[in-house]
Chain A
Amino acid sequence: MLRLENCEIANGVFKVSADLQIAAGSRVAVVGPSGAGKTTLIEAIAGFLPLTQGRILWQGQDLSAMDPGKRPVAMLFQDGNLFPHLTVAQNAGLGLRPNLRLTLPEQTKVQRALDRVGLADLAARKPAALSGGQQSRVALARVLLQRRDLLLLDEPFAALGPALKAEMLDLVAEIASETGATVLMVSHDPQDARRIADQVILVAEGQAHAPQPTAALLDNPPPALKAYLG
C-alpha cells in the first residue's frame, strides 16, 4: 500500500497537501485543473520535491528521506525520457544498470524487453532516428527492466496523437499487470482515466483527495471536478 501520511509539499510558494492511501496493484489517474498540483504530487512521490511535513510510506517503509533513484519508483516524464547520445539498447539498459556495465545475461534481458515492446530490430538506433511512438516504447522497455513497484507517469504521451496515445496506455496497462506495479498517471483527459485507471485522485485547490472509483467519480463529479470537466 502507498500511504501519503498528512503530507504537505512546497513547490516554491505553491503548496499541495495530501493525506491518502492507494492499494498495491491499483491503477490510479491523477486529474484536476492545470496548476492545481498534479505534477507536484507525483514529483514528491518520486523524490524530486521535499515534503515540508508528513511522510510517504510504501508497504510500511518510509520513503521520505530516500534519494529518487533509491525509491521503488520508475518514472516517465512529460518529455526527455531518453538520452539522445545513447542507443535504444543503452537507454533501455539503464533500467538494469545506471553505469551500463551489463553482463551477458543482462544484455539478453534488454533484448527481451525490446522484443516485448516491439523494437527488436531497432536496438542499435539512436532516439533521433525513431518516431515519437517508438521513443515511448523504448522508455517503456526501460520501465519493464527497472521492475519497480511504483510506476509514475507525468503525461509522457501528451505529444502523441489520440490513437497512438491509446496504444501506449494499453501497453502501460499490460506491462503493469505483468510486473504487478502500482500505477499513478497524471492526466488532463478523462478518457485516459476511463481507459486504464480503476481509481481517480482529484487534485484541486492545493488539495489531493482520496482515490475514488473511476466510473463513479467521472459520471457523478463533485463541483470542483465538474468545473474542470465543463
Chain B
Amino acid sequence: MARRAEPIGAFPGIGAALLVAALIFGTLAAVALRAEPGRGFAASDWAALRFTLVQALLSAGISVGLATGLARALARRRFWGRSVLIALLGAPFILPVIVAILGLLAVFGRAGWVSQVMIYFGAEPLQIYGLHGVVLAHVFFNLPLATRLILQGWQEIPAERFRLAAQLNAGPGAMWQLLEAPMLRRVVPGALAVVFAICLSSFAVALTLGGGPRATTIELAIYQAFRFDFDLGRAALLSVLQLGLTGCAAYVALRVSAGEGMGAGLDRVLRRWDGAGVTARLLDAGWIALAGLFLVLPLAAVVLSGLPGLLLLPSGVWAAALTSVLVAVISTLLLLGLALPMAAAVALGRWKAIEGAGILGLAASPLVIGTGLFIVIYPIADPFLLALPVTALVNAVMALPFALRILVPRAREITMRYGRLALSLDMAGTAFVWRVFLPRMRAQIGFAAGLAAALSMGDLGVIALFADPEVATLPLQVYRLMGAYQMQAAAGAALLLLLLSMGAFWLLDRGGRWHAEA
C-alpha cells in the first residue's frame, strides 16, 4: 500500500515538540533530582503554599463574580464605545505586569489618587501591599479575561431563545431561570478554573505587591531561596510543589473550560427585549462605568505620571529597552520556529501528542524552568552570562500554547483546502511551505508573533532569577528603579515599556494583515 501523501512533512514539528518536551521535562528532572525531600517543608514553605492558594481562590472568586455582572451588562446593552471597551478587555493579556502595577499604585497606593481623596475627607490612606494588593492586581488582570469568557457564553445563547423568551413575556427572573442561569452553570466553573490556575503561578505581582512572611507565593519563595539564600535544594523542593499545583490546576482548567475568550465576534450585538426597566438600566450602567474606570484609570495614571519622566530617562533605561527589544525579537523568532512546524504537524491530524507538548507550557512555571536550567547550566558555564538567551527561550515556550491556538485552526484549513491541489501539482515540501503555507498563514503568524513579542517584552520572571546587576531588561529596570524609590524615572520607563509592548503587538499584527488576501 502506498503511504499517504502529504504536502508538508510532520518531522520538523515532531522535532520541535520533542525539543519543548525535553526542555520542560529535562528541567523538571533536574529540579526533582536536586530537591531534598528528606528535609521536609519549613513553616515558611507551608505559609507560602497557604498564601498561594488563598490569594488564587480570592482572585478567582472576585474576578469571576464581578465579571458575571459586567458580562451581563455588556451582553444586554448597546452603547457608544461598546466595541472599544470589549476590545480593551483583551489588552491586559499583553500588558506588562510591572506597568499595570505602577498604574495600580498611582491609583490605589498610599500616595495614590484614591488615598488623596480619602485623606481629604479625613480618612486613613489605603494600604496596598499584602494580600489585598496582590488580589487587587490579579483582579485587574483577570476580570477582563473572565468577562470575555463569560460574555462568550452569553453570546452563544442563540438569538431565537431570546426571541422565544420575549414572546413568552419572560421577566428578568424568568429570563434568569430559563436562559442565563443554565449558561452560567456551564461557563463559570471554567472561568474560575482558568483564573485560579493563572493566579497560582503569580510571580511579578507577588514580587512587587507581596513579600514578607505573610504574603509570599511559592513562585516568590523559589526566587528568594534562589537569589537571597542560594539554596538550590530548597528552590528545587518548592519547584516540585509548584509544578504539582499548576499541573493539577491546568489539567482541571483545560477539562472544564469551554472557550478561551480570544475568539472574534464578541462585539456582536444581540437584540434583547428584557432589562428595559429603570433599575436594570441603572445597574448595568453602574457596572459598565465602574469596570471601565477600574480598567482605564491605572493605564491613564501610567501615561500621566510617565510623560514627564519620559524625557529625563536615565541612560540605563535606554540600554535596558534595547536589551528588551532584542530579547523580544529572538523570543518571537524562537516561538515561530517552534510553533509553525508544530502547527503544520498538528494540522496533518495524526500527531495528537504534539498538541500536548504545546500545552505543557500552560502547566509549567517559568521560574521552575529557570531553576532547572540554572541547575543544568551551573556546572558547565556561568548561568548569569546566559540570562538573556534563557529569558528569550523561556518566554517563547510560555507563548507557545497561545500561538498554537492561533495557528493550528488556520493550518488545518490550509492543508484541507489546498493540500490536494498542491500535491497534484507536485508542490510538496519547500515549494508548498513558501508558496502556500506561509503566505496563507500570514495574518495568524502576525497575530501570534505580536502576542509573543509583547509577552516577552513585558515579562518579569526568569530574568529576575538570572540577571546580574549589569544586565537588565526594561521590566526589570522598572522594578529596580521602584526599589530605589526613583518613582519619576520608574514611571517614565514604565510608559516606555507600555509603548514598546503595545507597539510591537500592533506592528506585527498589522503587518500580518496588511494586504492579506482572504
Contacts and interface: CB of A to CB of B under 8 A. Distances in A.
A70 B426 contact: yes
A67 B423 CA distance: 8
A77 B421 contact: yes
A227 B188 CA distance: 56
A48 interface: yes
B428 interface: yes
Contacts of B516: 85
A74 B418 contact: no
Contact of A83 (B418, B426, B428): B418
A16 interface: no
B2 A85 contact: no
A150 to B, nearest CB: 11
Contacts of B423: 47-48, 67-69
Contacts, number: 76
Given A48-B423, A77-B420, A94-B425, A65 B430 contact: no
B427 A98 contact: yes
Interface residues of B, number: 27
Contacts of B439: 85
Contacts of B418: 80, 83
A47 B5 contact: yes
A25 interface: no
A84 B424 contact: no
Contacts of A67: 5, 423, 426, 428
A99 B432 CA distance: 8
Interface residue SS majority, chain B: helix
A48 B420 contact: yes
A165 interface: no
Given A65-B2, A68-B5, A75-B424, A99 B431 contact: yes
B518 A128 contact: yes
B517 A128 contact: yes
A73 interface: yes
B90 to A, nearest CB: 27
B431 A51 contact: no
Categorize the interface residue count of chain A: 20 to 34
Contact of B440 (A64, A73, A85): A85
A73 B425 CA distance: 9
B425 A98 contact: yes
Contacts of A64: 2
Given A80-B417, A83-B418, A86-B435, A69 B4 contact: no
Interface string B112-147: 000000000000000000000000000000000000
Given A83-B418, A99-B431, A50 B4 contact: yes
B54 interface: no
Contacts of B435: 83, 86, 98-100
A46 interface: yes
Contacts of B297: none
Contacts of A74: 424
Interface in A22-56: 46-48, 50-52
B421 A51 contact: no
A98 B420 contact: no
Contacts of B431: 98-100
B482 interface: no
A52 B2 CA distance: 9
A48 B5 contact: yes
Most buried by A among B2, B3, B428, B432: B2
B5 to A, nearest CB: 5
B1 to A, nearest CB: 5
A69 B427 CA distance: 7
B86 interface: no
Nearest to A74: B424
A68 B420 contact: yes
A167 to B, nearest CB: 23
Contacts of A66: 2
B436 interface: yes
28 contacts: A47-B2, A50-B2, A50-B3, A51-B1, A65-B2, A67-B423, A67-B426, A68-B424, A68-B426, A69-B423, A69-B424, A69-B425, A69-B426, A73-B424, A77-B421, A80-B417, A80-B421, A83-B436, A85-B440, A94-B425, A95-B425, A98-B426, A98-B427, A98-B431, A99-B430, A100-B431, A128-B517, A146-B425
The 3 closest A-B pairs by CB, nearest first: A69-B426, A98-B427, A99-B431
Interface of A: 46-48, 50-52, 64-70, 73-75, 77, 80-81, 83-86, 94-95, 98-100, 126, 128, 142, 146
